[in-house]
Structure 1
Amino acid sequence: MEELIVEQHREYYPMTFYPECLTEILDQFKKPQLKNNPTFCLEPISICIPKIHYYGKLKLIQFYLGSIAVIIFLFSITISLLFSHLVGICLFILNILFFLSYLRLHIYEQNLKDDLRQIDREITSRKYLIKQFKSNKENYKSKTTFLLNTLDKRDSIYDFKINNDAEKGFSEAYFLSYLNQWFIYPWRIIEHCQFEDEQGYTPTADFILINDDLKLAVDLEIDEPYSFKGSLPIHLVEDPKYIYRDKFFLKLGYIVIRFAEYQIAKHPDYCCLHIARVLNQFLDRDTKIALPNSVNIEPLTPQEWKVKTWTQRESQIMADNQIRDAYLEPIHAFNLKH
């Protein structure tokens, strides 16, 4: 799958390819995950503490009232039969008052009991929610966790040496000044890293952007349509050596990003923004690469941003028309100052 993507998606710059180990991580991110730094919040339960404490005494008060009501009722009947009917009637009325008080307390008790049952249900529900949250939190994995769990798959990113004899591209110093502004510690930028495989293939990267803690690394390439010396067509879309080269870096665990020289000359900050967006897919919120304070980027349409790759014939036409001279003015000015 990785090789098929590298071979097919080469119509426009920038080209961006991911190694298999990082593609798997991107697939994991697409699965439902808790938000970064998950927090837990429950609505408070309204509990009247005095009522709860009063509930225990309520039964005792009811017992007293009920007992007094029964005693007065029996006493009123006895008085009515043996002595005065008037006194008996007064005692009976008093008995009714005690009985009504008893009924009122009974209704109050039932309401309080219902309230306590509701509180108990809410507490039980919250216990379940807390347990569920703890379980989800244990299953939650940050993006950094995914990267750290696959460090061993990217050990080969350090299999290089610095090639001081490598030919430096015309726009490299210009683009490096922007990279240094965008990618600060813990990111570091290394130029002209030469790699070698068992067959003796020794490609040299224009730039390596690397985070040592996460072993997250990018091979950055600037593709020119032709060389200044001899106007020779280079970086042709049909040339298999560039496909082989990209596959080589992907196997090492590198993300490969190719820009057209035109994009570097015209939109260097936008190129850096593209790199940041690619990397931020793998970074948690607190480690994401931010826009530098001094940078103000105007939005670009796809037509303004994308650059079509070129064939040998198209490269030759651009060389005949000296197309590079038309867009390299800012780089010429930079190189004169530095």
Structure 2
Amino acid sequence: MDKSIVEQCREYYPMTFYADSLSEILFLVNRVREQKDPIFHLEPIPLIIKQIHYYNDIGLKQFYCGCSTVFLLLLATVNILLSYLIAALVLVLLTAISFFCYCSLQRYKSNLRNELITIENKLASRQYGIKDKLESNSTPKPSNLLLDSLAARENIYNFKIDDSANKGLSESYFLSYLHKWFCYPWRIIEHCQFQGERYTPTADFILINDDLKLGIDLEIDEPYTIKESMPIHLVEDRKYIIRDKFFLTLGYIVIRFAEYQIAKYPDYCCLHIVRVLNQFLDRDMKISVPQATEIQPLKPQDWRVKTWTLKEAKIMSERKIRDSYLEPIRSFIKDRE
């Protein structure tokens, strides 16, 4: 049996998973966007060489028809003078056919010349043809698609606030960045405990747009606990797969960041969330980078973080790897005390 995307794509952070209803919207929107991309083409280039060749070829044929008409007309005149009436009649008929061909080629040549002049004018004024594969009124708006599928995401509100939940070391730090990037109509809610029949997970953060019922479950994964040095968030631990599937069933997008990414690149983590959300938003609703926020381009090897196994988490715990990147977070917490 084939594994689901949630089970397959767990090699690197950030992990990003979409609920089925949202995946269908993305598929439709992206397909239409591909079809709507304008096609820029320089129409005279392949056409003008071919037509100039035809124009010259027609001129040569017209010359031959003109010469034939004159020659046949002279022969017909001679035969009339010599009283060869039958031969003269045939020659007159051939002369008429030749003259008709000459006139037809002249008309075609004239039309072709006008077309060549039009092409040359386009080249001179750099007018290029632009074609759209679809009419603009056939493009579905992402917001309309979201509203049409609201029933699939009504369960995103099936939670209560869990004040007793333990707050991770990096959560307050990242929350300050989330508030900077996401304002109304977006809401950021901490420690939402969801109600399932046998399963009640608590999300680190929930980011919700109430108008569109568009929500993201944001998770921050650490390799081990600070106090007990106990390995956690292991890639082979299926409880995290079950957890992610639970949120996807409710209609959420799930994004998992490594704590290292939050500590080192908090703005870039927010930018990743924005890119995910903007796929579903109309142009006037898209989220932009906050003022006075500089985003440095990152290479994939600088940005992504490999997930860890039990053995790798134990090694990181022994080497106290979290201490090497938590200084910005600890300084933030100290300043707030």
TM-score, normalized by the shorter chain, greater than 0.5: yes
Larger Rg: 1
RMSD: 2.0
| Equivalent residue number for residue 287 of structure 2 | 289
| Equivalent residue number for residue 187 of structure 2 | 188
Compare 258-267 and 2-11 and name the one that shifted more. Answer: 2-11
CA contact (8 A) 1:15 1:259 kept: yes
Gaps of 5+ in 2: 38-131
- Given residue 19 of structure 1, which amino acid in structure 2 is its aligned partner? A
Gaps of 5+ in 1: 37-132
- Which residue, 193, 209, 212 being the options, matches 1:211? 209
1:260-275 alignment runs, 5 A limit: 260-275=258-273
- Given residue 17 of structure 1, which amino acid in structure 2 is its aligned partner? F
- Structure 1 residue 248: deviation in Å? 0.2
- Structure 1 residue 196: deviation in Å? 1.8
Give 3-state SS (helix, strand or coil) of 1:30's partner: helix
CA contact (8 A) 1:188 1:210 kept: yes
| Cα offsets for 1:20-70 (capped at 9, x unmatched) | 00000011012235869xxxxxxxxxxxxxxxxxxxxxxxxxxxxxxxxxx
| Equivalent residue number for residue 24 of structure 2 | 24
Distance 2:2 2:334 in 1: 42
Distance 1:238 1:148 in 2: 37
Distance 2:183 2:32 in 1: 31
- Structure 1 residue 185: deviation in Å? 0.6
| Equivalent residue number for residue 236 of structure 2 | 238
1:1-338 alignment runs, 5 A limit: 4-32=4-32, 136=135, 138-199=137-198, 201-338=199-336
CA contact (8 A) 2:29 2:140 kept: no
Shift in alpha-carbon separation, 1:2–1:172, aligned structure 2, 3 A: farther
CA contact (8 A) 2:32 2:139 kept: no
Shift in alpha-carbon separation, 1:10–1:304, aligned structure 2, 3 A: same
* Aligned residues with identical type, % of pairs: 64
Q: Given the two structures, how large is their TM-score scaled by the length of structure 2?
A: 0.69
Give 3-state SS (helix, strand or coil) of 1:219's partner: strand
CA contact (8 A) 2:207 2:217 kept: yes
Distance 2:278 2:303 in 1: 20
Q: Which runs of 4+ in 1 moved over 2 A?
A: 30-36, 135-140
Distance 2:220 2:3 in 1: 21
Give 3-state SS (helix, strand or coil) of 2:267's partner: helix
- Given residue 248 of structure 2, which amino acid in structure 1 is its aligned partner? L
Distance 1:163 1:317 in 2: 33
Shift in alpha-carbon separation, 1:2–1:168, aligned structure 2, 3 A: farther
Shift in alpha-carbon separation, 1:2–1:21, aligned structure 2, 3 A: farther
Distance 2:3 2:214 in 1: 20
| Cα offsets for 1:55-109 (capped at 9, x unmatched) | xxxxxxxxxxxxxxxxxxxxxxxxxxxxxxxxxxxxxxxxxxxxxxxxxxxxxxx
